[in-house]
Structure 1
Amino acid sequence: MKNGQLAPGLSDDDLLVDGDDAPAPALLSADPRLARLTEAAKAYARAARSENTARAYDSDWRQFASWLRRNGFDELPPSPDTVGLYLAANAEAGVSVATLERRLSGICWRYRQLGQPLDVRDRHIATVLAGIRRKHARPPTQKAAIFADELLAMLSVLDMDLRGLRDRAILALGFAGALRRSEIVGLDCGPGQTEDGGGWIEIMEGGALLQIYGKTGWREVEIGRGSRPDTCPVALLETWMRLGRISHGPLFRPIARKNGGVSSERLTDKHVARLVQRCAMQAGIRGDLTEGERKRAFGGHSLRAGLASSAQIEEAHVQKHLGHASAEMTRRYQRKRDRFKVNLTKAAGL
């Protein structure tokens, strides 16, 4: 590609500019080996982003492209001046700084796929974004943590049918492993069983060992067995796998409402968020809030924050369990901790 023009014989389909894949080289022959390599390259490109990120980036680009058309701007070549105007328009419309930064990432991703990278360090973008951050930035909103006693109350509201057993395993495993909702539903029964899996489990005598690919790469999570089978995450998981006849492929799957059969597909991460919200409300957690406030307060991260806040062990162990690159990030998840334990004011002699 030169000066934004496609090379002879190439089309948009060759470049896969719909955002689902990274650019792939055009085949110069009908060599089956090259065709297989091309498909493999496309599959690896798809795996570069999680499904959630891919959906978000695609949505970001559609919104940006629509704004460009409405205001008479061209998509190509990328214009830092125009992007600055777009950021300002979003900020004036009340879009949060975090969402705005994510939209900018999606726009940059698309331009890279088009072979015309957008320089976010350009002063027209960097200065506008810095001003928006200074004027509109707020501390990040956090989901309320669910603590151990609250988790037990949530487990008690679930039925003892197959769906209820699955959801019990999801809640208990998500809490004990401090897992993100995408990490919960991304688990397989073993390694290399699906293309879209984000990790797998290995059940042992002492507990479950999880290999998980998260935001910071691969990490190993140990989940020990509990003292009671009705609350032990490993026992609940074993029950779900046995009764649901789950031995290969996705660990958590949808259940048909008509015949109660277990699907072969993977459960979506949205189910985890809805499950946490529903069970928290049914269990009466944070009854001092309105129904709308309670629904907004709880989500998939409530399980992760709950374990981080409840575990009475050294912070370094919690950090490793959550897969955080820094202790500061771990502290953001700890809703209840000993603040001011380290008092630098007194240590300085004041």
Structure 2
Amino acid sequence: HVAVPAHPVTIAAYLIACADTVTEAGERAYAPATLAHRLAAIAHHHRQTGHPAPTGDDLVKATMAGIRRGYATAGDRPRTPRAPLLTADILAIVDKARANSAGWADEVLERRDTAILLLGFAGAFRRSELVALTCGDISLHRLDGLHIKLRKSKTDQEGRGTVRALPFTPSHTSCPPCAWMRWAQVVAAFDTGGRPAVIRLLRSAEPLAAHVCRGTRPRMVPASPLLRSIRKNGHLSDTALSGAAVHHAIRRRAESAGYDPEIVKQLGGHSLRAGFVTQAFRNGASAHAIMRQTGHTTPAMLEVYAREHAPLINNAVTNLGL
């Protein structure tokens, strides 16, 4: 078979072969979403080489639709969306993380994980967007709070960029700018003086009893990654945290906060973004207002969150008088 340009019959046969592939346990090896990603990759490579994409052919579309129906009928590889973390969850997990900090190394990890939770939730970030942030992407506005420049996202592949604002909050324990400031202080101290500087910072730090977001912004290297992995000895890495590490940090913190193991299994990096949309809907926000923060281009994707996580919002079943 010719790879590029590929004939639609070849693409259809490839899809069927993938759908028929099973693991040693007898389960389907590939989910429909995986096949859709592969179709997108095939289309991309065809366009890059100046050929029309065969994935738009009616035969390919009909084959993919048939595979989805077959999966649904057999109950194979069902979609398992991440459970959302709502405001009460975020606050409970953050409070427990701070209470469990027994030394300076624990506090370094707590400051980073708290920044992940509060920035990721309030900013409705995807985990890929979170780990791509650099120190120079964030500025502290005296009225708005944090201005976070998102240089590129899933819906902005050309990198036009956008700014997400994370406001000051009445409580210092849940204030995203405070969480960023506390972690930024650690990053700046480490980049300047290494581990000894971080230890000096934390030993002389004021107890967490008031806002710190109005203080002097730490001097950081603009191009350096904001979120980084932390070794057991307290050393920060020079490279950005991975998306998988964000996923594991959220699960680890939820488990430490006493969440049921079955619930912990449903959590992940997307729980912060899903939680933002769900909580906003439950609090009466409009789809347009939510889209301003999430970056969704149409309300259709928001409806998925509403159906799955807030099914009673704007639902006539609540007006039946039962």
TM-score above 0.5: yes
Whole-angstrom CA distance in 2 between matches of 1:76 and 1:234: 50
Preserved contact between residue 223 and residue 234 of structure 1 (Cα < 8 Å): yes
In structure 2, the CA distance between the partners of 1:122 and 1:332, relative to structure 1 (3 Å rule), is closer
Match of 2:165 among 222, 235, 239: 222
In structure 2, the CA distance between the partners of 1:234 and 1:143, relative to structure 1 (3 Å rule), is same
- TM-aligned CA deviation for residue 313 of structure 1: 4.2
Q: Give unmatched runs, 5+ long, in structure 1.
A: 1-72, 191-199
In structure 2, the CA distance between the partners of 1:296 and 1:102, relative to structure 1 (3 Å rule), is farther
Select the structure with the greater relative contact order (CA < 8 A; seq sep ≥ 6): 2
TM-score of the pair, normalised by structure 2: 0.71
Match of 1:203 among 132, 140, 156: 140
- Asked whether 1:261 is paired with 2:235, we answer yes
- Asked whether 1:144 is paired with 2:83, we answer yes
- Asked whether 1:161 is paired with 2:132, we answer no
Whole-angstrom CA distance in 2 between matches of 1:87 and 1:320: 37
Which aligned pairs between 1:174-185 and structure 2 lie closer than 5 A? 174-185=120-131
TM-score of the pair, normalised by structure 1: 0.66
Q: Which residue of 1 aligns with 2:304?
A: 332
Q: Which residue of 2 aligns with 1:84?
A: 12
- TM-aligned CA deviation for residue 256 of structure 1: 3.2
Preserved contact between residue 77 and residue 116 of structure 1 (Cα < 8 Å): yes
CA deviation string 1:304-326 (max 9, x = no partner): 11122223243121121111112
What is the SS of the residue equivalent to 2:54? Answer: coil
CA deviation string 1:176-220 (max 9, x = no partner): 111111111111222xxxxxxxxx211122310112132333332
Q: Which residue of 2 aligns with 1:302?
A: 271
- TM-aligned CA deviation for residue 339 of structure 1: 3.2
RMSD: 2.6
- TM-aligned CA deviation for residue 261 of structure 1: 2.5
Whole-angstrom CA distance in 1 between matches of 2:273 and 2:256: 20
Q: Give unmatched runs, 5+ long, in structure 2.
A: 22-27, 189-219
Preserved contact between residue 80 and residue 118 of structure 1 (Cα < 8 Å): no
Aligned residue pairs, count? 258
Q: Which residue of 1 aligns with 2:196?
A: none
- TM-aligned CA deviation for residue 78 of structure 1: 2.0
Whole-angstrom CA distance in 1 between matches of 2:86 and 2:146: 21
Whole-angstrom CA distance in 2 between matches of 1:76 and 1:247: 44
What is the SS of the residue equivalent to 1:265? Answer: strand
CA deviation string 1:108-163 (max 9, x = no partner): 33344455554113344233223223333587432111111111222134335212
Larger Rg: 1
Q: Which residue of 1 aligns with 2:249?
A: 275
Q: Which residue of 1 aligns with 2:176?
A: 233
